[in-house]
C-alpha cells in the first residue's frame, strides 16, 4: 500500500502503476458530475449520433477537461461571495453505484483516468478501468468539510440552473485531495472482495435452519 | 405563538454541523480498534478530523444534509400550523446560510426548488403530548443511507426467517450485508418490528434518536440489540466498506403492534454522520441538547 501524489491530467502509465489500497493525493482541475450529469453526457454526447448544436460548446469544454481527467461524484454545498465567486463549503462524495449504467461509456468516450466517489462500482466499470486505463478513487463519505478544504478554487460551473446546485458540473481546482484506490487497472476491487467475504460470514450466521 | 424562527435555524445549524457526543465517542472507540495504517483506520481518522472541522467552522459535516425530519411534540392548545410555518421559514433561512444544501427535487420536472421546501419536504411528525413544554427533534438523513434502508416481510424464505425474533435477527443482518459500505458505514440501525409499511419507517427513524449507549427497557430487545451489534461487526464490512472491525455503531429496536396478516421488519440505516439535534422551549426559554 503505497502513497502517491498525482496531478491532472494524469498519464496512463501513472494510473496503471496504482493498486487497490494505495493512498493518493490528487491535485489539479477535476469536474463534479453525478446522476443528472451522467445521464446528460450519455444521452447527448455518447449515444446521440450528432451532438445537439446547443450543447456543442459544453461538449468541447468537457472533452478538454476530462481527457486524462477525473470526474467526482459529488453534490456540494456552495456559497457565493459578494463578488460573485463561488466557494465549496462542504463537498464529500455521493454513492457511485447509481452511475454504473453510464460510467464505462464515459471513461471510454472522454479518456478519463479516474472516478472519485464512494461505495465503489460494478463489473462494467471495473472492466472499463482495465481496458482504458482508469481507477476508482474512494473518498471518505461524509467527510465534507475536510474535503472542501482541499478545494482551492471554483473555476466554472455548467448546467447549474437546469440541474440544480447538487447536480451541476462544477469545475474545481483541488490540492492534496485524499483518496484511496479501491478499484484498479489490474481487475481488482476491494468492494468485490469485501462483498464476497461478508457474504460468507452472513451465510454462517444464518445457517441453522428454522421456519 | 411566539416567534421561534431564529431558534429553529439554530436547531438546524447544530444538527448539520455538530455531531452528537455519543456518536463521536463511538467513532473514536472504533478508530482505536482498527489496525493503524489500514484504509479503515485512515477513513475513521478523516471522519474525526472532519467532525472537528465542521464544528469549529459551523459548516456541514456532510454535504448531503438530507431530508430534514422533524418530530414535534407539542403541549395541548399549541397550533401545528404556526409551528410548521415557522420551521419552514427556518429551513429556508438555514439553506440560505449554507447549513443545508438545497435538496428538494420535483420528480416530474427534475427541478430543485432551491430552498428545501416542497411537497412532503421537509418531513413533519406532530404529536400532542401531556407535557407543558415544546420539544422539536430533528434528524438530517442523507440519500445514501436512505437508499440502503430496507423493509422485509416475514416469513422471508431466502433466509428461512420466520415470524419471531430469530427471523428479525436474520433479516437485519441481511440488510447490513446488502448495504455494504454504501450507506456510509459504520452505520447506526433504527429497527421497527411490526407496524404497517408506512409506520414502520416512521418508527424505525424515531429509534435513531436514542443515545447509542442507552439500554432498551424491553429485555429481549436489549439482548437482540447487543447480539446484532456484535454479529453485524463480524461481517467485517468496515468503515466505508474498506473491510475492518467496525461496520455498525449501534442497533436500536422498537416493537409495535402489527396486523395479524403482516409482520414487517423495517431497517432505517443511518450513516455514521447521525445528525440529530433536540430543542425544547420551557416557559419561553429555549434549551438545546
Q: What is the 3-class SS of A138-149, one letter each residue?
A: ECCCCCHHHHHH
- Shared domain for B154 and B262, answered yes or no, is yes
- Residue A159: pLDDT over 70: yes
- Shared domain for B71 and B150, answered yes or no, is no
- Number of domains composing chain B: 2
3-class SS of residue B170: helix
Nearest residue to B234 via CA among B164, B157, B169: B169
CA dihedral B148, B135, B276, B221 (to 10 degrees): -60
Q: Are the beta carbons of A143 and B231 separated by less than 8 Å? A: no
pLDDT digits (tens, 9 = 90+) for B240-284: 999 999 999 999 999 999 999 999 999 999 999 999 999 999 998
Residue carrying C-alpha cell 454462517: A204
Please name each of the domains of chain A with its CATH number.
3-205 (3.20.130.10)
For the packed helices B80-96 and B5-17, what is the interaxial angle rounded to 10 degrees?
50
- Shared domain for B97 and B216, answered yes or no, is no
Give domain status of residue B149, yes or no.
yes
- Shared domain for B78 and B154, answered yes or no, is no
pLDDT digits (tens, 9 = 90+) for A1-21: 899 999 999 999 999 999 999
> Least CA distance to A21: which residue of chain B?
B39
Residue A81, chain B, CB below 8 Å: the answer is no
Give domain status of residue B257, yes or no.
yes
Residue B17, all three cell numbers: 454541523
Nearest residue to B67 via CA among B142, B120, B2: B142
Residue A17, chain B, CB below 8 Å: the answer is no
Q: Do residues A195 and A201 touch, judged by C-beta distance below 8 A?
A: no
Q: Do residues B222 and B150 touch, judged by C-beta distance below 8 A?
A: no
Positions of A annotated as catalytic residues are: 38
Q: Which of residues 85-114 of A touch B (CB under 8 A)?
A: 89-92, 94-95, 97
pLDDT digits (tens, 9 = 90+) for B74-97: 999 888 999 999 999 999 999 999
Residue A140, chain B, CB below 8 Å: the answer is yes
3-class SS of residue B220: helix
- Shared domain for B187 and B117, answered yes or no, is no
Residue A207, chain B, CB below 8 Å: the answer is no
Query: What value does the mean pLDDT of chain B take?
Result: 97
- Shared domain for B112 and B66, answered yes or no, is yes
Contacts of A195 in chain B (CB under 8 A): 180
- Shared domain for B262 and B279, answered yes or no, is no
pLDDT over 90, % of chain B: 97
Measure in Å the smallest separation between the Cα of A144 and chain B Cα atoms.
Answer: 5
3-class SS of residue B115: coil
Helices (H) and strands (E) in chain A, counts: 8, 9
Residues linked to residue A95 through DSSP beta bridges, in sequence order: A118
Query: What value does the mean pLDDT of chain A take?
Result: 96
Give domain status of residue B52, yes or no.
no
Q: Do residues A101 and A107 touch, judged by C-beta distance below 8 A?
A: no
pLDDT over 70, % of chain B: 100
| Pick from B98, B144, B147: CB nearest A79 | B98
- Shared domain for B213 and B189, answered yes or no, is yes
Phi-psi region of B209 (alpha: psi -120 to 50; beta: other; left: phi over 0): alpha
Q: Do residues B233 and B245 touch, judged by C-beta distance below 8 A?
A: yes
Q: Are the beta carbons of A143 and B46 separated by less than 8 Å? A: yes
Measure in Å the smallest separation between the Cα of A109 and chain B Cα atoms.
Answer: 26
Which ipTM score applies to this complex? 0.93
| Pick from A95, A97, A142: CB nearest B61 | A142
Model confidence at A84, pLDDT cuts 50, 70, 90, reads very high
Would you call B5 exposed, middle or buried from its count of C-beta atoms within 10 A (0-12, 13-18, 19+)?
middle
Q: Are the beta carbons of A141 and B144 separated by less than 8 Å? A: yes
Measure in Å the smallest separation between the Cα of B94 and chain A Cα atoms.
Answer: 12
Report the distance separating Cα A178 and Cα B34, nearest Å.
19
- Shared domain for B251 and B284, answered yes or no, is no
Report the distance separating Cα B104 and Cα B107, nearest Å.
9
For the packed helices B21-33 and B39-57, what is the interaxial angle rounded to 10 degrees?
150
Q: Are the beta carbons of B53 and A76 separated by less than 8 Å? A: no
| Pick from B50, B167, B180: CB nearest A145 | B50
> Would you state the pLDDT for residue A211?
63
Report the CATH number that the domain containing residue B94 is assigned in CATH.
3.30.1330
Report the distance separating Cα A108 and Cα A24, nearest Å.
22
Residue A25, all three cell numbers: 493525493
Report the distance separating Cα B92 and Cα B22, nearest Å.
29
Give domain status of residue B48, yes or no.
no
- Residue A29: pLDDT over 90: yes
- Shared domain for B265 and B151, answered yes or no, is yes
Interface test with A, best of B13, B36, B44, B64 (most A CBs within 10 A): B64
Q: Are the beta carbons of A118 and B181 separated by less than 8 Å? A: yes
Q: In what order do the strands lie in the sheet with B123-128?
A: B123-128, B67-74, B134-141, B275-282, B285-288
- Shared domain for B216 and B234, answered yes or no, is yes
- Shared domain for B77 and B169, answered yes or no, is no
> Would you state the pLDDT for residue B289?
87
Contacts of A147 in chain B (CB under 8 A): 50
Give domain status of residue B51, yes or no.
no
Domain span including residue B151: 144-270
Q: How far apart are the first and last CA of chain B?
A: 22
Residue A210, chain B, CB below 8 Å: the answer is yes
Phi-psi region of A10 (alpha: psi -120 to 50; beta: other; left: phi over 0): beta
Measure in Å the smallest separation between the Cα of A204 and chain B Cα atoms.
Answer: 10
3-class SS of residue A102: helix
> Would you state the pLDDT for residue B2?
85
> Would you state the pLDDT for residue A13?
98
Nearest residue to A84 via CA among A172, A144, A157: A157
Average pLDDT of B160-188? 97
Amino acid at each position: 500500500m503505497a502513497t502517491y501524489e498525482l496531478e491532472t491530467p494524469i498519464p496512463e502509465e501513472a494510473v496503471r502503476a496504482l493498486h487497490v489500497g494505495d493512498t493518493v493525493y490528487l491535485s489539479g482541475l477535476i469536474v463534479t458530475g453525478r446522476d443528472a450529469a451522467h445521464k446528460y453526457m450519455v444521452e447527448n454526447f455518447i449515444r446521440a449520433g450528432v451532438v445537439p448544436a446547443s450543447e456543442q460548446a459544453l461538449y468541447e469544454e468537457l472533452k478538454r477537461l476530462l481527457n486524462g481527467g477525473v470526474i467526482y461524484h459529488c453534490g456540494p454545498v456552495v456559497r457565493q461571495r459578494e463578488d460573485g465567486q463561488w466557494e465549496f463549503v462542504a463537498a464529500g462524495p455521493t454513492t457511485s453505484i447509481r452511475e454504473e449504467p453510464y460510467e464505462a461509456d464515459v471513461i471510454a468516450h472522454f479518456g478519463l483516468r479516474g472516478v472519485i466517489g464512494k461505495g465503489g462500482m460494478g463489473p462494467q466499470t471495473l472492466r472499463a478501468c482495465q481496458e482504458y486505463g482508469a481507477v476508482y478513487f474512494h473518498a471518505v463519505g461524509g467527510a465534507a468539510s475536510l474535503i472542501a478544504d482541499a478545494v482551492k478554487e471554483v473555476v466554472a460551473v455548467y448546467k447549474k440552473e437546469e440541474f440544480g446546485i447538487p447536480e451541476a458540473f462544477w469545475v474545481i481546482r483541488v490540492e492534496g485531495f485524499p483518496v484511496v484506490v479501491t478499484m484498479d487497472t489490474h481487475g481488482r476491487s476491494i468492494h468485490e472482495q469485501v462483498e464476497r467475504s461478508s457474504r460468507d460470514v452472513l451465510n454462517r450466521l444464518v445457517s441453522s435452519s428454522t421456519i | 405563538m411566539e416567534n421561534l424562527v431564529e431558534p429553529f435555524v439554530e436547531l438546524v445549524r447544530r444538527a448539520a454541523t455538530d455531531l452528537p457526543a455519543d456518536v463521536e465517542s463511538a467513532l473514536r472507540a472504533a478508530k482505536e480498534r482498527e489496525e493503524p495504517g489500514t484504509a479503515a483506520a485512515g477513513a475513521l481518522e478523516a471522519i474525526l478530523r472532519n467532525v472537528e472541522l465542521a464544528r469549529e467552522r459551523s459548516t456541514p459535516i456532510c454535504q448531503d444534509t438530507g431530508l430534514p425530519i422533524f418530530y414535534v411534540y407539542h403541549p395541548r392548545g399549541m397550533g401545528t400550523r404556526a409551528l410548521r410555518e415557522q420551521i419552514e421559514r427556518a429551513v429556508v433561512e438555514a439553506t440560505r446560510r449554507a447549513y443545508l444544501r438545497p435538496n428538494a427535487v420535483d420528480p416530474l420536472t427534475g427541478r430543485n426548488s432551491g430552498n428545501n421546501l416542497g411537497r412532503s419536504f421537509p418531513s413533519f411528525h406532530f404529536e400532542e403530548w401531556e407535557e407543558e413544554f415544546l420539544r422539536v427533534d430533528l434528524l438530517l438523513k442523507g440519500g445514501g443511507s436512505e437508499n440502503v434502508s430496507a423493509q422485509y416481510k416475514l416469513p422471508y424464505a431466502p433466509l428461512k426467517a420466520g415470524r419471531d425474533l430469530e427471523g428479525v435477527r436474520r433479516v437485519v443482518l441481511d440488510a447490513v450485508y446488502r448495504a455494504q459500505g454504501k450507506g456510509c458505514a459504520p452505520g447506526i440501525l433504527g429497527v421497527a418490528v411490526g407496524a404497517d409499511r408506512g409506520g414502520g419507517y416512521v418508527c424505525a427513524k424515531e429509534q435513531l434518536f436514542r443515545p447509542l449507549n442507552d439500554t432498551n427497557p424491553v429485555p429481549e430487545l436489549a439482548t437482540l440489540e447487543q447480539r446484532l451489534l456484535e454479529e453485524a461487526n463480524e461481517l467485517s464490512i468496515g468503515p466505508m466498506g474498506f473491510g475492518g472491525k467496525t461496520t455498525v455503531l449501534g442497533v436500536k429496536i422498537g416493537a409495535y403492534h402489527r396486523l395479524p396478516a403482516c409482520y414487517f421488519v423495517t431497517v432505517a440505516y443511518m450513516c455514521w454522520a447521525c445528525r440529530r439535534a433536540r430543542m425544547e422551549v420551557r416557559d419561553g426559554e429555549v434549551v438545546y441538547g
